[in-house]
Structure 1
Amino acid sequence: MTVNATYYAGGTGYTPADMMQRDADWISPGVLSSGDLVVAQTATASMNITVSGAAQGQTGGNAWLPNGYRVFNDSLATLGISAADTTNPRIDLVVIVIDTTVNPYVPQLKVIKGTAAASPSVPALPTGFVGIALAQVRVNANATSITSANITDVRAIAGLVSQFGGEKIASSLSELNNDRIYNCGSTSGTNAYTITNSDITAYADGLTVRVKIGNSSTGASTLNINGLGAKTILDTLGNPIVSGGLKAGLPYHLCYNGTNFIVLGKGGGGDATAAQILLGKKATVDSGQVTGTLDLTNLVTGNIKSGVKINGVSGKASVVDTSDALATAAQILSGASAYVNGIKIDGTIPLMGDEEFAGWRRASLGIASVDGRIHLAIPDGYYNGAGNNGLQGVFYDDANFNAGNILNGVTIAGLTGSATIETLGGHSSASGTFVLTTGDYTVQSVTLSFVPTVVIVYYQSSWSGAKTIWASTFGGTTSSLRDTSTPGTSRATLTVNSNVVSLKLDTSQFGATYSWVAIKI
């Protein structure tokens, strides 16, 4: 038995097989990236296909084949597809291989023609060829051209072989790929944003992209990737995007949740302004960071109306709404004040005190007095009723307003008069009639309000037309009434007893109406 070693100190040389075996031990077959050895239709569909290529080390044509072969296609290659069967379809296989049936071996791109059948199968690599499949091409019956719809990509991505940790690494890479953030560049449009990324072929829950917004949002927004359909963009809290919610020139991470794209990592949000944020406090809103200017220094009890609570501070009982008050200074007592519509007003109404008579003030005559009424003009001021005997008011002086100028027994404005006709410079008098009936000697009397000094009685004779007059003397008490036509005949007797005046017939046939006048001289 012989133990062999490769790549050890003191070794004398290594063959290509040693190097290929080393690579084959670690690297599984496949293209290096999704951009390598891409099979596509020709620019104008034909019975040819193209395979991408590029210089070694550049994406486009690189692959690892089984057994450690490393190959690359250095430029775009065109491969022909054999004519279609007239009855059944077939499947051709596009491969990159090493032909080991010749010496030296030949690397090549090759189309392996399949067999036409109602249900065609994929052909296998011929014996002696080592390689990998790139695409399957379905050649329909009577086809005259190959389109992208006829090409199925079957490339595998090269990696580490499973026995050397490839499965674990592949799993990790798969997880990383699932957590991959696809860089999609700048968006087009406003609100209805569109982007492209060839690595994204479908929307999947958890798909995350990085985009730079081309135009700021002006309202609710959507994102459409590669024409797969517009999906609503929501902010971190699941709310629709608002005007300014997405800023032009700024990058955003958007994650698809199976229904909508959600903005990730967005701090804060909302439409608050500086005037709505407490003074000196900072907040992040849709427009960015804002420093508050809302000053609540004066939010104290004394500045809040009674019965109102603002931000937890209750109003002061004495703080009331005075907007409906109408008082003026002339309606408020001097020395007192009131608030009207928020303004303090000092009163100017004087408090009327004593003037010659406790609690009373002097008035003046107003407009002309009329029967039964005196008009007085009273001084402006407040009369509180605390004067003499609890009364307060006004008075007016008039020297002629006295009892001596008011008729005895008459009361004017509470003052009872004592004046008589005599004290007023006149004479008391009274007058009346006595009706004496013929044959009736009854005495008729009248009581006067004074004691007369002169009583005059007269009558008009019905047959002679003569007027008979009798005048008493001062202090006289009785007298006979005589007709001037018959001086000797007494017709009636007049009696004056103090203030009682009486008259009776002396002769029965002299019944008549006798008039009398009494005078106090």
Structure 2
Amino acid sequence: MAERDSGWMSGGVVDAEDARLATGLLAAPGATPLQSRGGIRPSGGHPARVEATSTPSKDVTVRPFQAVIQGTRSTAAGSYLVTLDAVKTVDVLGAAPAHGSNERFDLIVARQFDPQYADSRSGMVVERVTGTAGTTPVDPAVPGDHLKLARIRVRAGATTITEADISDLRAYTSALGGIMLARNATDRPLNPYWGFYVHRLDTSRLEVWDGGPGGHPWRTTPDGSRSRSRPTGPRPAPGATTTRWSASGE
């Protein structure tokens, strides 16, 4: 049956997917009508930032965060609301020493496990996914439902990880109707709704999606201000103040 059980209905039977669908609809939408945008919930204190230890070592640390991880292993999997409630230390080089002559890329991820989809354990884990050393290394594949937090460049022969080795990969989400943080053009949602706002961290500009039938794609608000009022008069000419957005970026 296409209709799902409503969340928290008296006398109803609500399974885990139903509950995730009910809570997930309060987050910014994702690629389909039943999905939420996965990402870190913005807050003070640099949530989910991956950092080298104060004295460089074989480990990195991950700051506390709350996040949305969208389920992908069922069309109605719903979204997981997850929390890391304290700084976590993640071993990078202890269990997987650097290669002697080639570098590799490791990923730090928040990964959701769920026995409903044949996982052997349950819960969210912040962990390292080890890459393969080579002359042209690439990011390792990450199975299952997850968020990428950072890429670690493990240099040939390295015995410590420094800040210069860490690339931030955090994506952000927002509440439904909220202004979402986007690191750059390619970090913006691929399927926004009319009137969706993003704050570009690379330009400090506020942009709104106006790409419905006969409309324009992403455009910067007047003078890049934070005003959310719709401008009056004719639309800006192409190449003037219009910010265009395609799935491949700018």
Q: Does the TM-score normalized on the shorter chain lie above 0.5? A: yes
3-state secondary structure, aligned to 1:6: coil
| 2:134 maps to 1:117 | yes
Decide which structure has the larger Cα Rg and report it: 1
Aligned equivalent of 1:33: 42
> Within 5 Å, which residues of 2 pair with 1:227-246?
none
Aligned equivalent of 2:59: 48
Q: Which amino acid aligns with 1:91?
A: F
3-state secondary structure, aligned to 2:99: coil
Q: Structure 1 residue 10: deviation in Å? A: 6.8
Unpaired runs of at least 5, structure 1: 54-60, 181-205, 209-521
Aligned equivalent of 2:84: 73
Runs of 4+ with >4 A deviation: 8-11, 160-163
Aligned equivalent of 1:4: 3
3-state secondary structure, aligned to 1:174: strand
Distance of aligned partners of 1:41 and 1:168 in 2 relative to their CA distance in 1, 3 Å threshold: farther
Q: Which amino acid aligns with 1:151?
A: I
Identify which of 155, 158, 169 aligns with 1:154.
169
Aligned equivalent of 1:15: 15
Q: Structure 1 residue 158: deviation in Å? A: 1.3
| 2:122 maps to 1:105 | yes
Q: Structure 1 residue 83: deviation in Å? A: 1.1
Q: Structure 1 residue 168: deviation in Å? A: 3.6
Identify which of 115, 135, 139 aligns with 2:150.
135
Q: Structure 1 residue 26: deviation in Å? A: 5.3
Distance of aligned partners of 1:138 and 1:70 in 2 relative to their CA distance in 1, 3 Å threshold: same
Counterpart-to-counterpart distance in 1, 2:18 and 2:119: 21
Counterpart-to-counterpart distance in 2, 1:107 and 1:33: 19
Distance of aligned partners of 1:124 and 1:173 in 2 relative to their CA distance in 1, 3 Å threshold: same
3-state secondary structure, aligned to 2:21: helix
| 2:218 maps to 1:174 | no
Query: TM-score, with normalisation over the residues of structure 2?
Result: 0.60
Q: Structure 1 residue 5: deviation in Å? A: 3.5
Q: Structure 1 residue 104: deviation in Å? A: 4.9
Aligned equivalent of 1:93: 107
Higher relative contact order (CA 8 A, sep 6+): 2
Tell me the C-alpha RMSD between the 2 structures.
3.0
| Percent of matched pairs sharing the same residue | 26
| 2:68 maps to 1:64 | yes
CA contact (8 A) 1:133 1:155 kept: yes
> Within 5 Å, which residues of 2 pair with 1:70-469?
70-81=81-92, 82-100=96-114, 101-126=118-143, 129-159=144-174, 166-170=192-196, 172-174=197-199, 178-179=205-206
3-state secondary structure, aligned to 2:198: helix
Unpaired runs of at least 5, structure 2: 26-33, 72-78, 178-188, 208-222, 226-250
Counterpart-to-counterpart distance in 2, 1:207 and 1:153: 25
Deviations 1:142-197, CA, capped at 9 Å, x for gaps: 0111111100001100145969x844454x233796159xxxxxxxxxxxxxxxxx
Q: Structure 1 residue 88: deviation in Å? A: 0.2
CA contact (8 A) 2:52 2:61 kept: yes
Deviations 1:393-448, CA, capped at 9 Å, x for gaps: xxxxxxxxxxxxxxxxxxxxxxxxxxxxxxxxxxxxxxxxxxxxxxxxxxxxxxxx
Q: Which amino acid aligns with 1:62?
A: Q
Distance of aligned partners of 1:154 and 1:78 in 2 relative to their CA distance in 1, 3 Å threshold: same
Distance of aligned partners of 1:150 and 1:167 in 2 relative to their CA distance in 1, 3 Å threshold: farther
CA contact (8 A) 1:36 1:63 kept: no
Q: Which amino acid aligns with 2:98?
A: A
Distance of aligned partners of 1:104 and 1:85 in 2 relative to their CA distance in 1, 3 Å threshold: closer
Query: TM-score, with normalisation over the residues of structure 1?
Result: 0.30
Distance of aligned partners of 1:149 and 1:168 in 2 relative to their CA distance in 1, 3 Å threshold: farther
Distance of aligned partners of 1:168 and 1:147 in 2 relative to their CA distance in 1, 3 Å threshold: farther
Counterpart-to-counterpart distance in 2, 1:106 and 1:33: 22
CA contact (8 A) 2:35 2:70 kept: no
Q: Which amino acid aligns with 1:7?
A: S
Q: Which has the higher strand share?
A: 1
Counterpart-to-counterpart distance in 1, 2:10 and 2:154: 57
